[in-house]
Amino acid sequence: MTENARDKSEELKKDLEALQTLRDEMRVRVHLAGMEVKRRWSELQPRIDDLLDSAKRLGEASMDAVKEALELARELRKAL
């Protein structure tokens, strides 16, 4: 594995860990949130879960998809 591939793999691993942490935090906060946030969460959570499952199966997920899901999760967390 080249150094560039290792760097990308490490970056992906860190992004996936951050996404898992955000998902777990938001699960707790959603219970206290209003209906609009709950609706947004119900749309986002399956995407996050699918992405995390795919990354585990494939070993490397699309960096763009991970970054997009991470950004959406961060935006929703701010709304909470």
pLDDT digits (tens, 9 = 90+) for 19-78: 999 999 988 888 777 888 888 889 988 998 888 888 777 655 577 788 888 888 898 888
Q: Is residue 11 part of a domain?
A: no
Question: Tell me, what's the pLDDT at 8?
Answer: 82
Q: Which residue has the tokens 């996404």?
A: 19
Q: Please tell me the predicted confidence (pLDDT) of residue 1.
A: 66
| Any domain includes 64 | yes
Note the pTM of the prediction, 2 decimals.
0.59
Nearest to 23 by CA among 55, 57, 58: 55
pLDDT at 46: 92
Structural domain tally of the chain? 1
Contact, 12 vs 63, CB < 8 A?
yes
pLDDT at 22: 92
Residue 66 lies in a domain: yes
C-alpha dist (Å) from residue 57 to 42, 53, 72, 74, 79 = 23, 6, 23, 24, 31
Distance in angstroms (rounded) separating the CA atoms of residues 62 and 32: 32
Which residue segment(s) compose the domain that 70 sits in? Answer: 35-80
